[in-house]
Every structure is written in structure tokens, then in C-alpha cells.
A and B are shown apart, each in its own frame.
Chain A
Amino acid sequence: MLETIWFLLWGVLWAVYFALDGFDLGMGMLKPFLARDEYEKRVIYNAAGPFWDGNEVWLISAGGVTFAAFPLAYAAMFSGLYTALMLLLFALIVRGVSFEFRSKVDSPGWKAVWDGCQVVGSFLPALLLGVAFANIFQGLPLDQNQVMHGGLLDLLNPYGLAGGVLFVLLFLLHGALWLSIKAEGDLRERAASTAARLWPVLAAVIVVFLVYTWFATKLFTNYLTNPVLFLILLVPVGGLVMIRVWLAARRFWAAWGASAVMIIGVTLFAVVGLFPAILPSSLNPAWSLTATDAGIKASSSPLTLAIMLGVALVFVPIVIGYQFWVYKTFSAPVTREDLEY
């Protein structure tokens, strides 16, 4: 029971991370295409300003919870995906620094360097997270000793890359919607029309990815056993539809919320499909790392899981509370007065 709760919490943490950091990664990728001058560039940086650091901690938490609740899975996943994860880290490092350093020196060369870091540092995490998760969905070449075979190039298979494209598009749309909230005037119009143009592309890619998933993975097995679970699909599909509706009505907050719900729904759909495996083995299902006793049990002792659950029940609501307050406090569009970065 504790294992199942933690499996779901594990999925929820990743989902919240994607829904929050997704928009600032998306804006980072959009910046070179949307900003026409230095002021607009700074608006985009400052639209992420008060939030990006707090958002990124959801990734640290998701990593930390994998470590704490499923140490065997953490060990196998992080060592197995070694090169991909290191690239992700380097990207996040240069990206984080670019926020703080860019505006400190008034020279075009200096700014161009950090702008480049911001774009690469936003694109690579989106792509790599998609590639990594798609590979997890279809199973990793894990042997009976929880050692993964193959390297970065093996991850770049067609299904893995499809996952990467899906994540990039999810985050691009999410970022365009956030910028529609936080920018004013011409930049807002460009962001909104970009979102409108991204929408059909994303909708098509989601459909293709779902069909591809049917053939490339075993994610649908749980759904076919319990068809009632297919109701979960209503969440991402509903989110996707409502983005279009609210975007047309120029209700940008609602559209962004729908996009967040869609991202969370997509993640939960996959996580429920994975259960009880955290890392399915493509070599032999019995070598999969799981939350329960099917395959190799990767979870922590009941005592650790219980203590962690207590910590999560106390602190996660507090975190959600103050992060919500931060979003509310900085909900207004960015003006010239607000430029700190």
C-alpha cells in the first residue's frame, strides 16, 4: 500500500515539475523567435524571473523522491542514463546562471553568450527529459543485476526521439501561453498567435505519439485490464481542447491552466500505464524494477516510506501554499518597472 502511494506521488512530482518548469523552459526556447529587441528579450527573462528557481526544485524533489522511495530505481536510472543526465545537468546549470548574469554587463557580446546559454539550456532539458521518459515507457535494457546496457545513442531511437519532440512541443505551447499572460502589447499578440499555431501541431503529435505508444510500449496493458482507467485520458484531452477554446476567448490564464492540466494528465496517463514498474526491463519483464513485488522490488523499507509520507503530507501542502502565493503576487504583466534581470 505504501509502495503504491509512493509510486503515485512519484508520478505526481514529475507531473508538477513538467507543468511548472515546462513554461519557463518553453519561453527560453521561444525567446529568439518572439523577441524583436532588447526590451522584449528582458520581458521574457523577467516573465520567468520570480518563478524559475522554485519551479526547478520540483525536479530536485522528483529526483530526491526517486532516491528515497525507490533507491534501486534511482541507482539504475541515473547510472544507466549517465550521459543524457549529465547533458541535462550542464544545460540546467548554464541556463540558471544566464538568468542571473545576463543583465549584469551592458555589452552585446556578453548578452549574446548568455542568450545562447538560455536557449540551449532550455531546449536540451525539454528534449532529453522527453527522450528519457519515452525510453522508460518502452523499457530499458536492464539485466538481472539492475545494470543498464547501451549508451546515449541507444536512447536516440525513433520512439525516444518522438518523446523528445512531444515534450518540446508541450513546453513550447505552455511557454507561449505564459508569455501571453505576462507580456503586453505586440509581444503578447505574437505569443498568443504562436500558441494558436502550435496547438494543431501538438494535437497531431499527441495523437501520433499515442498510436506509436500502443505499438512501441506495454503502457496500455493496465488500461486494457481495467478499461475504466481510460477515463484518465479525458484529463489531457479535455485540457488540450480547453486550451483552444480559452485561447480563442483570450482568457490566457485559463488557457495556461488547461495546458498545465494537459501536461499533468499526459504524465499521469503514462505513470498509471507503467505501474507497478518504475523502470521496465526490455530484456526480461522479471528484471523490471518495480514498486511492488512484481519483478525486482525497488522500494525503500516500510519505515522509510512511512516517515517520508509524513514529511510529504506536512510539507508538500505548505510548499504548494507559498508557491501559489508567489504566483498570485507576481501575476501581473511585466512592465518596465519590473525588470530586474
Chain B
Amino acid sequence: MDAILLSRLQFAAATMFHFIFVPLTLGLSVLIAGMETAYVRTGKELYLRMAKFWGKLFLINFVLGVVTGITLEFQFGTNWSRYSAYVGDIFGSLLAIEATAAFFLESTFIGVWVFGWKKLSPKAHATVAWLVAGAGNLSAVWILIANGFMQNPLGYVIRNGRAELNDFMAVVLNPFAWQQFAHTILGAFCVAGFFVLGISAWHLARKSHEEFFNASLRIGAGVALVASILVAVQGHFHGNEVARIQPVKLAAMESHWETRANAPMYLLQIPGENGNVLEALPVPSLLSILAYNDPDAVVKGLNDVPAADRPPVVITFWAFRAMVGIGTIMPLIALFAWIKRRDIGKYPWFLKLLPWAIPLPYLGLQAGWIVAEVGRQPWIVHGLMRTSDAVSPISGGQVGFTLAAIIVLYSLLGAAGFFLAGRAVKQGPDAAH
């Protein structure tokens, strides 16, 4: 196999694995900081126990997110060196700023958070929790500004045979990046909300630590409800922007082939790489409305795009549907949990269902990233550089070896992390360690 395909697989594996842990880190860190603040304000021991219990799960998750993130920064150089040389002037500086302004803060204070319980006052410790949470989310801002440049390159000029920065504020204020940030961060809060909700429900179904987990469940339900409604609403506007800036991606998301006004959406549709295998039950103008908020809008079709410039349609289409489907189920579950939060014990079937909902936002986020990244192909930087021109001059054998190593190593670490998290959940709050 060639270096390009293997490098793509390697990057996909490394990013997707990294992105199992990052969303929980982003959302749960804020919840924990909130719990510590509640403890400082009310003096109630319950909030301190909450911060410690959820904090233990947070740390298992956090370390896997951090170590897998290091690989990603290096992979741009190891596997995508031509990309790095071509856009490093812009992209590299965003990664460097992320490390200097955000990642340092997060990594330094996570150590203080773990080791500072006895050395700091509760107030100072809560401040540290906010620093960790704020820095983690600030990291996400910079990383998504960097990704935003790949989706919607702005603020550059081609000079000296590469893309050079000519407007830093245009890069930083890239509206596409901020839409993506909002969408991702809301997704991350869905992850945290459903995580807390599901684990609390697991304990409540067993009637263990009821006071503790009733309180946790309310927090989880509230966060899950707000975040899952906002992510859907905001997702619509994000979709509008994709339609405007990346019409080909939108066409692939919908497997839409003929350019036309009043574009319909098919309730029954099976996509193929050269046209739909099946399309039935059209809803007139629905695609035009969803994409441009206008029934008469013209929606560009894939037939108007040379085959070499089309993303893989089938993957993009189904990933998009998975994301939207999950985005529809999540608010319903969260809403029911929120309404019944005070007497949730009367619904044992629901308590047993909730742990199974934990994977939903995770799958939604992964599917969303597949839409964003696969849908951008064949470009590594949309309209500017092709993925095939970006790969390092390295042999397929080297990449194959490290790809295999990454899969084996990450699987083992993931299994260990999952095992530890499961143990910590079962032990419940107040376990010695």
C-alpha cells in the first residue's frame, strides 16, 4: 500500500482516538469546576465529593487525551511534511500559539489540581479547576481555528511557492472556524452531560449513593438538555455556512447530483459514488430550505463537479445522517430525564436505558468529524492544496509499521482506560483511591 493511503488511515485513527477523550475533557472540566465552586459557596460536602468522584474519571480520560494529542502535532511533520512546508507559515503558528497560550496552562495546572487538595485553600483549588477547564476550551478554540483554515482558507497570499500569512485577524476571525468551534464544543457538552447522566442512572438503578447520584443526575440532565438542543439549532446555521463555502461537501452530505432550484430531499435514498442507487419519496424544496433557508435557492449538484474533485459520497452521506439522527434522539432523552428528574426512581426502565445513551454523543461527534474531514476531500486545504500533494516523501512500509503500532498501542491503552473508568464507576464516590 502507498504512503498516502496509509498516512490518511493513520491520521484518521490517531485523530478519532484522540477525539474519544477530548470532548469529555472539555465538558466535564467545566462541570467539575462548577461543582468545586458550589462547594466553596455553600460549604456542602456533597459538592466536594462530586468534584472528587467525577474528577477521578476525568483524570483517567484526560491523560489519554493529552498523550494522543502529542502524536497529532508531530504527525503533520512526520506524515504530511509537504503540507507543513506549504502552509506552515499559517498553520504552524496557530499550533504554536495553542501550545503557548493554552496547553501550557492546562497541563501545568492539572498537576496542581491533582496534588493541590491539601496544599491549596478550597477557593484556590476551585480557581485551579477553572484554569484547567478554561485552558482546555481555549485549546479547542486554537485547534479549530487551525482546522478552520483547512476548511475555509483566509488571510494568506501565495508567495515564495507557498501560502504566506498576510492577514492574521482574517485567519483568527474565520467565521467557519467559529461555527465549527461552537458546534464541536456544544457536542462536547452533550458528551459530558450524557456521561454524568448515564453513570448517575446506573447507580440509581442499583439504589446506591442515591443522594449523591440524584444530585449528579440533575446536573447531567440539565447540561445534556441545553447542549443537545443548542447543538441541533446551531448545527442548522453551521450547515448554511457549509452550503455557502463548501457547496461540494454539502452535495456529498445529501448525495445531491443535479444542480437545481427547489431542490427536494428524498425520504428514501441510497447514495452511490456516481449517482443515487435509489431515491424515492421526495419532499419538494426541502433541501433548498435546509441549505439556504429559501425554497427557490439553487443547490449545486455533484454532476457539476469533476469526479476528481468530489469527496467520497457514500461515507459523507451516511456519516451526516448518523450525526443528524443522533442529534434528534439526544434532546428527547435529555428532555425526559429533565422532566422526571425529581422522581426518576419511578422509571427503572429509563434508568437502565440511560447508561446506553452515553455512547450516543460520542458517535455523533465522530460522525460529525467524518463529515467535516472526509467531506473536504480531495483537498487537505479546501481549494488550495490536495491531500495527495501533502504527504511526506516516506515509504509505505514505514507508515504501515507505525500505523499497526498505533492501532495496537492505542487499543491496549484504550482498554486499560476503559477498565479503570469502569472500576472507578463501580466503586462509586468515597472509594479510598
Q: List chain A positions with a Cβ less than 8 A from chain B.
A: 46, 49-54, 56-57, 59-61, 63-69, 71-72, 74-79, 82-83, 85-86, 89-90, 92-94, 96-97, 99-101, 103-105, 146-147, 151, 300-301, 303-304, 307-308, 311-312, 315-316, 319, 322-323, 326, 329-330, 337-338, 340
Contacts and interface: CB of A to CB of B under 8 A. Distances in A.
A77 B394 CA distance: 12
Contact of B413 (A68, A71, A93, A311): A93
Nearest to B71: A89
Range of interface residues on B (Cβ < 8 Å)? 35 or more
B349 interface: no
* Minimum-distance CB pairs A-B, first 10: A71-B88, A78-B77, A67-B92, A54-B108, A75-B81, A64-B96, A79-B81, A79-B392, A68-B96, A68-B92
Given A303-B166, A311-B101, A97 B413 contact: yes
B165 A301 contact: yes
Interface in B259-307: none
Given A75-B85, A83-B398, A97-B67, 15 more contacts: A60-B103, A71-B89, A78-B74, A82-B392, A92-B67, A93-B70, A93-B71, A97-B64, A100-B59, A104-B433, A147-B393, A300-B89, A300-B164, A304-B89, A340-B115
B63 A97 contact: yes
B420 A67 contact: no
Contacts of A322: 105, 108-109
Interface of B: 59-60, 62-64, 66-68, 70-71, 73-74, 76-79, 81-82, 84-85, 87-93, 95-101, 103-105, 107-112, 114-116, 118-120, 159, 162, 164-166, 168, 392-394, 398, 401-402, 405, 409, 413, 416-417, 420, 423-424, 433
A97 B418 CA distance: 13
- Which interface residue of A66, A100, A311 has the most chain B CB atoms within 10 A? A100
Contact of B99 (A60, A147, A323): A60
Given A71-B84, A71-B85, A92 B70 contact: yes
Contact of B168 (A151, A307, A315): A307
B77 A77 contact: yes
A46 B105 CA distance: 20
Contacts of A92: 67, 70
Given A52-B111, A68-B92, A76 B74 contact: no
Contact of A64 (B81, B100, B409): B100
